[in-house]
């Protein structure tokens, strides 16, 4: 099958344009880190966009948001960081309350801390859902 030269040049130009557009679009992948968390990494240069993401599902949904937007939107990234900070705040609070409950000998302090732990666990579950459903 012989293709005329002018069609070959046209096809080459179209393919060249497509490859240039594809190479401009950032591609982000999710990588698991050594500490068990996840990071969103640029595929071509291995630059970390955001790390310490606690759930793979939320990292994948963030990557999909950036792929839809075709660029990194600082508003989306900021909103995600706020939700992640909220999750880690309540996670650290829960660890602190558990430690306090295990070390205190004062019954009043124990029961007050237990009530706070119950509340922070509810907030932690809500923060987890907001991250997963991002």
What burial class does residue 34 get, using C-beta atoms within 10 Å of its C-beta: 0-12 exposed, 13-18 middle, 19+ buried? exposed
User: What token pair was written down for 131?
Assistant: 């991250």
Query: Is residue 129 pLDDT above 90, yes or no?
Result: yes
Model confidence at 20, pLDDT cuts 50, 70, 90, reads low
Q: Using an 8 Å Cβ cutoff, are 30 and 40 in contact?
A: yes
pTM of the full predicted structure?
Answer: 0.76
pLDDT, the chain, mean = 87
Q: Which residue has the higher pLDDT, 4 or 13?
A: 13
Q: Using an 8 Å Cβ cutoff, are 103 and 76 in contact?
A: no
pLDDT at 130: 92
Please write the tens of the pLDDT for every residue from 82-123: 999 999 999 999 999 999 999 999 999 999 999 999 999 999
The residues, any chain, with a CB within 8 Å of residue 22's CB and separated by 6 or more, are: none
The residues, any chain, with a CB within 8 Å of residue 112's CB and separated by 6 or more, are: none
**Which residue(s) pair with 48 in the sheet?**
41
């Amino acid at each position: 099958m012989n293709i005329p030269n002018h069609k070959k040049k046209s096809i080459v130009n179209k393919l060249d344009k497509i490859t240039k557009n594809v190479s401009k679009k950032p591609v982000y992948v999710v990588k698991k880190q050594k500490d068990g968390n996840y990071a969103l990494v640029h595929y071509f240069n291995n630059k970390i966009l955001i790390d310490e993401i606690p759930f793979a599902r939320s990292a994948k949904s963030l990557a999909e948001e950036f792929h839809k937007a075709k660029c990194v939107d600082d508003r989306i990234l900021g909103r995600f960081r706020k939700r992640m900070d909220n999750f880690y705040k309540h996670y650290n609070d829960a660890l602190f309350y558990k430690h306090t409950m295990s070390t205190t000998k004062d019954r009043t302090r124990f029961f007050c801390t237990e009530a706070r732990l119950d509340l922070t666990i509810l907030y932690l579950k809500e923060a987890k859902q907001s991250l997963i459903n991002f």
